[in-house]
Amino acid sequence: MEELDDIIKKLQIARNNPELNADDLTELAAMLISLSNQLQKS
Protein backbone atom coordinates (compact mmCIF):
# COMPACT_ATOMS: atom_id res chain seq x y z
CA MET A 1 0.00 0.00 0.00
CA GLU A 2 1.75 3.10 -1.27
CA GLU A 3 0.17 5.54 1.20
CA LEU A 4 1.32 3.43 4.10
CA ASP A 5 4.88 3.38 2.72
CA ASP A 6 4.83 7.19 2.50
CA ILE A 7 3.61 7.47 6.09
CA ILE A 8 6.26 5.05 7.33
CA LYS A 9 9.01 6.99 5.54
CA LYS A 10 7.78 10.26 7.02
CA LEU A 11 7.60 8.74 10.50
CA GLN A 12 11.14 7.40 10.19
CA ILE A 13 12.36 10.85 9.14
CA ALA A 14 10.38 12.43 11.97
CA ARG A 15 11.89 10.09 14.53
CA ASN A 16 15.38 11.28 13.57
CA ASN A 17 14.40 14.95 13.39
CA PRO A 18 13.80 16.79 16.66
CA GLU A 19 13.18 19.97 14.63
CA LEU A 20 9.79 18.73 13.42
CA ASN A 21 7.22 21.49 13.27
CA ALA A 22 3.47 21.44 13.82
CA ASP A 23 2.70 21.48 10.09
CA ASP A 24 4.67 18.26 9.58
CA LEU A 25 2.83 16.59 12.45
CA THR A 26 -0.53 17.83 11.18
CA GLU A 27 0.20 16.43 7.72
CA LEU A 28 1.21 13.07 9.19
CA ALA A 29 -1.92 12.98 11.35
CA ALA A 30 -4.12 13.76 8.35
CA MET A 31 -2.48 10.97 6.34
CA LEU A 32 -2.99 8.48 9.17
CA ILE A 33 -6.64 9.48 9.61
CA SER A 34 -7.25 9.20 5.87
CA LEU A 35 -5.63 5.77 5.75
CA SER A 36 -7.58 4.63 8.79
CA ASN A 37 -10.85 5.72 7.18
CA GLN A 38 -9.99 3.85 3.97
CA LEU A 39 -9.18 0.69 5.90
CA GLN A 40 -12.45 0.85 7.83
CA LYS A 41 -14.42 1.08 4.57
CA SER A 42 -12.76 -1.98 3.05
**The pLDDT of residue 23 is above 90:** no
Question: Between these two residues, 34 and 24, which has the higher pLDDT value?
Answer: 34
* Domain of 19, in residue numbers: 2-41
Number of domains in the chain: 1
**The pLDDT of residue 24 is above 80:** yes
pTM here is: 0.62
- Tell me the one-letter amino acid at 29: A
From CA 14, how far away is CA 24, in angstroms rounded? 8
DSSP H helices, the chain, are 2-15, 22-41
From CA 30, how far away is CA 35, in angstroms rounded? 9
